[in-house]
Amino acid sequence: MFTVKYSVYSIDFDWLGFLQLITWLIALISIYGYCYQKKIFIPIFWKIYLPALIIFDIYGHIASYDQHSFYVSYVAMIIQIFQYIGQYLYAYKTIDKLT
């Protein structure tokens, strides 16, 4: 936990939460590209990003076990499977057909 102190206030900054937000926003961009048939970035970026996202999500769920129960993390991973499927289809099937 990284603490930033301003005169009276103390703000706890969670680096893992911030990185999860950034990776989630990038993942959302790929879902947007898949749904609206838009070519965003280069195909190799999405092919590298997908496995990295899966590994980072698993690490994030393992690291948050102390904050949430096992079942909450398990249900979240089940729901994210649909996100991974959409990103796979975008990276390997759809983006090559777009101009």
Mean pLDDT of 11-31: 81
Question: What pLDDT shows up at residue 68?
Answer: 63
pLDDT of 67 strictly over 70? no
Q: Which helix (H) or strand (E) holds 54?
A: helix 43-63
> Residue ranges per domain, the chain?
2-94
Measured between its terminal Cα atoms, the distance across the chain in Å is 45
pLDDT of 90 strictly over 80? yes
Structure tokens at 99: 């101009």
Question: What pLDDT shows up at residue 65?
Answer: 67
Question: What pLDDT shows up at residue 48?
Answer: 92
Q: One-letter amino acid identity for 70?
A: F
Question: What pLDDT shows up at residue 75?
Answer: 83
Between CA 77 and CA 24 the distance in angstroms is 13
Between CA 65 and CA 81 the distance in angstroms is 19
pLDDT of 61 strictly over 60? yes
